[in-house]
């Protein structure tokens, strides 16, 4: 099948590469000339494990092409995916200007009946808006389908190739047939293709992310309560997670969620609910808890050192800048909040992440009292404490003796609960984590 992907960001590039890898001819279109130039030269503008190899293999075989020519892209595809950004607007809603701009382009250049697929994360009613915009420019028949993505950054290739489910919202049986054919290679183990109405598919994406965000915020509140009452959240998490009705997923406490999906999608869902006079009280609470939780680690630091003014002149190492491991994405990353607050208190920083240093620099900027380290050990040289913001595997088994030698004092504030309390006691660290008892020296 001839497929056009408009937008070569995270979702579009992964989808295009994976569709090409299953034998389709894929034409990826983007207005960003520099990004297309990178892709044509075999350079991948995002970090996603396995993506570079798939892009290179399919580009070499001629199944995957890149261009800025939207007219050629629209004419090429039997199925056209809209995979452009929907950034958060000032009022919390999703900005659909890029999506509707692509719809206008499709309407101007459509040359035959097509299936148009909303792959971007969009609120309920967007497919109808896209159809209206295309129809302004043409009398050629087309159908607009909703096909939300459920990719986890860091595991996107596996998620696309072996999805838990594929959700498609269709206006007709003919469109459903096209989508089933397209996704058939990815569901050979009988994971379902869920065919539903368009509005339900659009809502499913937001509902899924809001549910996952709710579990995270709920567990963070429980962790904070555990600290106050002397409980250990590790035990509580297992105690509730082994209930089959609850399960273990997304019950790990920490310093909040970030990234391009959960924060934006929860706020967009809240806005949609307000627009329809249906208060989303749980969603609003989830967002408020997450916003406060990003400061949890800094609150511990300030309390330990005796007040915010006491951080002046001290240096803090930071492990982890991406919002989660296995990605270089720093959008809404808790590390941004942590670093901003430390700097406000007059502290200096030594920062390290295996993949996200450049994207963090771009978002956070350069500061006189901020040093970007070359390794996790370089980040702790002569620091007054280490703060852990992202649970990279690289950080799980450090040489604790080496850490103690490099640090001024063996103090760790762990926002991801990487280490056991017994391990910290044995190695002589003062250790603060989330929802667990403090470990003191000795």
What is the rounded CA–CA span in Å between residue 235 and residue 256?
Answer: 20
What is residue 89's DSSP assignment? P
β-bridge mates for residue 28, sequence order: 5, 66
In sign, the C-alpha dihedral spanning 432, 419, 395, 397 is positive
DSSP letter, residue 58? H
Contact yes or no for 376/309 (Cβ under 8 A): no
How large is the angle between the packed helices 334-344 and 296-305, nearest 10 degrees?
30
Residue 352, phi then psi, degrees to nearest 5: -145, 140
Catalytic residue among 18, 28, 226, 261: 261
Backbone angles phi, psi at 30, to 5 degrees: -155, 145
Q: Which of 144, 170, 117, 126 shows the shortest CA–CA distance to 4?
A: 117
Give kind and range of the element (H or E) at residue 212.
Answer: helix 198-229
- The residue with tokens 């995957």 is 64
- For residue 261, indicate whether it is catalytic: yes
- For residue 201, give Cα distances in angstroms to 118, 176, 213, 293, 309: 10, 13, 19, 31, 51
* HSE-up (13 A, CA, CB side) for residue 292: 11
List the structure tokens of 15: 């989808």
Residues 6+ apart with CB under 8 A from 60: none
Angle at 372 between CA 374 and CA 264, to 5 degrees: 115
Closest to 391 in 3D by CA, of 411, 364, 419:
419
Which token pair is 348? 């200096």
| Spatial CA neighbour of 145 closest among 193, 208, 191 | 193
Mention every residue, 6+ apart, whose C-beta is less than 8 A from residue 235: none
User: Which residues are known to be catalytic?
Assistant: 261
């Amino acid at each position: 099948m001839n497929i056009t992907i408009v937008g070569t960001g995270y979702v579009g590039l992964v989808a295009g590469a994976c569709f090409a890898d299953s034998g389709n001819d894929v034409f990826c279109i983007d207005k960003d000339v520099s990004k297309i130039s990178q892709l044509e030269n075999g350079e991948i503008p995002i970090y996603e494990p396995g993506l570079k190899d798939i892009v290179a293999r399919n580009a070499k075989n001629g199944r995957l092409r890149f261009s800025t020519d939207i007219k050629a892209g629209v004419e090429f595809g039997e199925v056209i995916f809209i995979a452009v950004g929907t950034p958060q607007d000032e009022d919390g809603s999703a900005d659909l200007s890029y999506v509707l701009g692509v719809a206008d382009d499709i309407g101007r250049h459509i040359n035959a009946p097509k299936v148009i697929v909303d792959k971007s994360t969009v609120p309920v009613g967007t497919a109808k808006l896209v159809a209206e915009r295309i129809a302004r420019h043409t009398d050629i028949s087309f159908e607009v389908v909703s096909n939300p993505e459920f990719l986890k950054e860091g595991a996107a290739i596996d998620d696309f190739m072996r999805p838990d489910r594929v959700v498609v919202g269709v206006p007709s049986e003919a469109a459903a047939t096209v989508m089933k054919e397209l996704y058939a290679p990815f569901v050979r183990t009988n994971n379902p293709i869920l065919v539903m109405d368009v509005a339900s598919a659009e809502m499913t994406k937001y509902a899924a992310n809001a549910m996952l965000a709710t579990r995270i915020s709920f567990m963070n509140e429980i962790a904070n309560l555990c600290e106050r009452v002397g409980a250990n959240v590790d035990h509580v998490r297992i105690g509730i997670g082994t209930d089959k009705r609850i399960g273990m997923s997304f019950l790990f406490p920490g310093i909040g969620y970030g990234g391009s999906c959960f924060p934006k999608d929860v706020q967009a869902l809240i806005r949609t609910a307000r627009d329809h006079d249906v208060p989303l009280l749980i969603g609003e609470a989830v967002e408020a808890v997450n916003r406060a939780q990003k400061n949890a680690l800094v609150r511990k630091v300030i309390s330990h050192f005796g007040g915010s003014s006491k951080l002046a002149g001290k240096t803090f190492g930071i492990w982890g800048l991406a919002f989660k491991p296995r990605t270089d994405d720093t959008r809404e990353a808790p590390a941004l909040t942590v670093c901003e607050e430390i700097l406000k208190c007059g502290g200096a920083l030594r920062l390290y992440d295996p993949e996200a240093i450049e994207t963090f620099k771009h978002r956070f900027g350069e500061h006189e009292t901020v040093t970007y380290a070359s390794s996790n050990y370089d980040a702790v040289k002569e620091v007054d404490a280490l703060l852990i913001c992202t649970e990279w595997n690289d950080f799980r088994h450090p040489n604790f003796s080496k850490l103690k030698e490099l640090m001024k004092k063996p103090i760790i504030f762990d926002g991801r609960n990487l280490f056991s309390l017994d391990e910290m006691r044995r190695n002589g660290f003062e250790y603060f984590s989330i929802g667990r008892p403090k470990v003191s020296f000795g």
